[in-house]
Structure 1
């Protein structure tokens, strides 16, 4: 846990200090991750060409699989976690050049690319490792490398670390902007809408998110952590899409710079509900933790946003705390749009 907290603290510092450092960090670790995946794909293809197909034959590869809707939805959780970056660009549209053009373009290019890469990586894994070996491995990529990469297998743990660091950096960079914009629009405490005067970064939002990330390290069970966060994300996204569908029905003439065929958000909403409902029948404890994570935001919203006539006993200490943090972090409320990066 100490190592994870250290990485989180270091990446939080980078994001607080310099936006371009954060984006360059993301570029470097993304390239490293894709390079590792390409190595795995090529190695798997070579392994199959050499005739090693004993682990890649039907129906053996599907033996002992659970096909009920609850377990299928939980299996999707790991996939959703792997693809979680698909929605991060929506959080940083103010920092994109020509977002109305580049945001759809980035999604159209990245989603099929990532899908093909992960599909081929899983083909490589199943070509080299048996289903039991996949389930028992703490890091499948490392087990794969030990089997087929020989003297260079020691590089794979390094690539796995790069992947983890890149994922965490992307989450910090994008989600902090969501907190920042939410606070600026009056949906979160004003403190989170502050920008550091020197570095022009949403420092309070980044520090708050970095602290929350460390608190969430309550378990070393990666599957449980994935289930917590994926349920919470799927539930929140389902509610957001339901709101968009409602607006499309009640206010069809609103200006929509990016507008899709209605079948796409409807299909997406149905998929989100599948991920939200069926896990209750298989893993209710983990789902309830995710639900509690969502509900924990209600008292914060009620206390700091919805309740307008708060007594001085609450307002004055909070104002003093806000001013103190402003002075400490040298921050002022953010206005307007962020600069392009």
Structure 2
């Protein structure tokens, strides 16, 4: 299959000189860095510090937990750099599990992502954006629930439209809002440095007194790692990253240490200004911090958080659509999910589906409960990807691996992932049962929807008519046939 010079250079999308239509390599190194940082830094750093401290009751231990969470995420990202350069397909965990363990295991991950992980995550981050964006207009009380959900829906629809129109515009938004959230965190850090510089060190007295119980320390990692969520999202768009062999690991080495450093310094600032009691009683640490440090300018803090979460929604939408596109290319979703615009090279049907499922989650009053069910599944999928990497090393030892990390790194990371999956079972058995039930419900769907080829004519006719209608409505077409994962 020929690739044009235009595609190689990542210029404007559309048909190449050989009249094929495919995703273009438009994501630069800095775009990749912005995508990682922009997806990681959402609402977590503004609210999760309370969760870490509540479990440890110690300033010193909390700061160590944040350092270790960043190190853990960096180790995982390095493993994914090897995966992303040896299995050079978009789709992230789905692609890696497919190559290592076959189509059924990959479909179950896709099924859970389709039903729970992606739409719920997008809805929650969009709701967080809406709550903080509306906060300056409601000083005396919280904004009305319906107003928040409406604003969240506007956020999702606006960003979906931008992602449909242009990859470059989506990346520009990611870069701009990543810069904005870094500025917000730098302001918090500088305010904390000023506070410490004026002699306020009393909150660091007896910093390492606290709760050293292993159970509570493990629970504190859930809050810390939640704030680092998104470190592997660049792997979902490998096919659109310019020179992925070089830029994927470079983006990881730039983004993860930067996020870890900013997170640790932000927590030092929080602890310098707020006492342990204030942190424990605060629903959003950043708001309590702003109220003490910025006075009449406190309203800037919810604006900062809104900017942060807006960029987070954009990153999740962008990567979710590529996950569903890859699943369609493998025959696990209807063909139309893999269609892209003939001129803009954007996966419009997949983006719209991602938006619609997220909007549906906004209608569910207990969407926050759903997010508890997928935590174990999420870490299980990561563990399966790392296990798949070790299995592929054993099965295909001579396969090209432009990046190969020391074996100790994936082994240590895998053991930590297994711990994160197994630890909550005794304390949250029903979450485990429900998560397992949702996952296993994909087995009959796989055999009926994917493996059953001799379906009734009316099914094929209806699906074909829908596909043609979508093609005509959105001016989309099947992408160039690329190497299938089943041939890897």
TM-score, normalization: structure 1?
A: 0.88
SS for the counterpart of 1:255 is coil
- Contact 2:236-2:322 at 8 Å conserved across structures: yes
Say yes or no: does 1:44 pair with 2:192: yes
Identify the match of residue 326 of structure 1 among 453, 468, 471.
471
- Contact 2:361-2:367 at 8 Å conserved across structures: no
Aligned residues: 333
Deviations along 1:270-326, one digit per CA (max 9) or x if unpaired, are 121111111122233444454455445444433332322333343333333233222
SS for the counterpart of 2:204 is coil
Say yes or no: does 1:85 pair with 2:233: no
Q: 1:287 to 1:119 in 2, by over 3 A?
A: farther
Q: 1:96 to 1:164 in 2, by over 3 A?
A: same
CA distance in 1, matches of 2:209, 2:475: 58
CA distance in 1, matches of 2:442, 2:455: 18
Map 1:1-341 → 2, pairs under 5 A? 1-58=149-206, 62=210, 65=211, 67-69=213-215, 71-217=216-362, 218-219=364-365, 224=369, 226-335=371-480
Q: 1:327 to 1:244 in 2, by over 3 A?
A: same
Q: 1:22 to 1:160 in 2, by over 3 A?
A: same
Which sections of structure 2, spanning at least 5 residues, go unmatched? 1-148, 483-488
Comparing 33-42 with 288-297, greater Cα deviation is found at 288-297
TM-score, normalization: structure 2?
A: 0.63
CA RMSD of aligned residues (A): 2.4
CA distance in 2, matches of 1:285, 1:74: 18
Offset at residue 226 of structure 1 (A): 5.0
Offset at residue 22 of structure 1 (A): 0.6
- Contact 2:373-2:434 at 8 Å conserved across structures: yes
Q: 1:83 to 1:249 in 2, by over 3 A?
A: same
- Contact 1:32-1:162 at 8 Å conserved across structures: yes
Comparing 242-251 with 158-167, greater Cα deviation is found at 242-251
SS for the counterpart of 1:252 is coil
- Contact 2:339-2:477 at 8 Å conserved across structures: yes
Offset at residue 7 of structure 1 (A): 1.0
- Contact 1:219-1:225 at 8 Å conserved across structures: no
CA distance in 1, matches of 2:181, 2:381: 28
SS for the counterpart of 1:85 is coil
CA distance in 1, matches of 2:309, 2:435: 22
Q: Which residue of 1 aligns with 2:55?
A: none
Q: 1:225 to 1:135 in 2, by over 3 A?
A: farther
- Contact 2:189-2:266 at 8 Å conserved across structures: yes
CA distance in 2, matches of 1:208, 1:74: 34
Q: Which residue of 1 aligns with 2:34?
A: none
- Contact 1:55-1:61 at 8 Å conserved across structures: no
- Contact 1:125-1:144 at 8 Å conserved across structures: yes
CA distance in 2, matches of 1:41, 1:289: 41
Comparing 77-86 with 92-101, greater Cα deviation is found at 77-86
Deviations along 1:246-270, one digit per CA (max 9) or x if unpaired, are 1211221222233222222222211
CA distance in 2, matches of 1:85, 1:209: 17
- Contact 1:56-1:127 at 8 Å conserved across structures: yes
CA distance in 1, matches of 2:212, 2:448: 44
Q: Which has the higher contact order (CA 8 A, sep 6+)?
A: 2
